[in-house]
Amino acid sequence: KAGVTQTPRYLIKTRGQQVTLSCSPISGHRSVSWYQQTPGQGLQFLFEYFSETQRNKGNFPGRFSGRQFSNSRSEMNVSTLELGDSALYLCASSPRTDQTEAFFGQGTRLTVV
Amino acid sequence: GESVGLHLPTLSVQEGDNSIINCAYSNSASDYFIWYKQESGKGPQFIIDIRSNMDKRQGQRVTVLLNKTVKHLSLQIAATQPGDSAVYFCAENNYGQNFVFGPGTRLSVLP
């Protein structure tokens, strides 16, 4: 069974640009969550989707958005990039709404210059 | 707000010894916990989980202990090996809400 797949693995963007990251969950998993990981703040929750609906959202500005498709694949978008958005963006999938057995992908390393 | 903290940011152990990584959580309503291992350049890897109706769960070479009275979680690794060197995170969840992660403990295994 394939794991959680995130693309691309690495990205370099310029301040002010926007970026879209993709996450394909484990087959059969309908819950997808996104996290931002930085050395200073650790792992912080962005949002969670289940069956194409955003169920939960963390404390991030509106520049961070996401969506989930009918096949459970999810994308997150960051608009008007800032230097502080440089981070490892991680996606986790779970088969259930209770978030049990949540497995992570390898992440997308975003660098904003 | 909710928070999950680790007592020790770094831990060094001799190869073959047992390791104990600790975690304190603040939300007494949290009902599910996961320990993750993260190696450099990789995403967090699921190690073991435990629900709040249990106080102990064992896996292969790992044991998680949950003490709800003092809101404390620990991960025990038996016969620590060089491949166990990584950062370990505990994460708590409250009835399917988002996970709250601790800052992580770096485990270094000495030869």
Question: What average pLDDT score do residues B34-61 get?
Answer: 95
Helix, strand, coil distribution of chain A in percent, nearest 5: 5, 55, 45
| pLDDT at residue B84, rounded to an integer | 97
CB contact under 8 A, A98 and B43: no
Q: Sorting pLDDT into bands at 50, 70 and 90, what band is B5?
A: very low
Of B49, B93, B101, the CB nearest to A43: B101
Asked if residue B68 has pLDDT above 60, the reply is: yes
Q: Looking at chain B, which residue has its C-alpha nearest residue A32?
A: B98
Cβ atoms of B71 and B63 closer than 8 Å? no
Q: Looking at chain B, which residue has its C-alpha nearest residue A41?
A: B103
Long-range contacts, A50-56 (Cβ 8 Å, 24+): A50/A97, A55/A97, A56/B97, A56/B98
Asked if residue A47 has pLDDT above 50, the reply is: yes
| pLDDT at residue B4, rounded to an integer | 52
Cβ atoms of A5 and A72 closer than 8 Å? no
Q: Identify the burial level of B61 via C-beta atoms within 10 angstroms of its C-beta, where 0-12 means exposed, 13-18 middle and 19 or more buried.
A: middle
Q: How many helices (H) and strands (E) does chain B have?
A: 0, 11
Asked if residue B7 has pLDDT above 60, the reply is: no
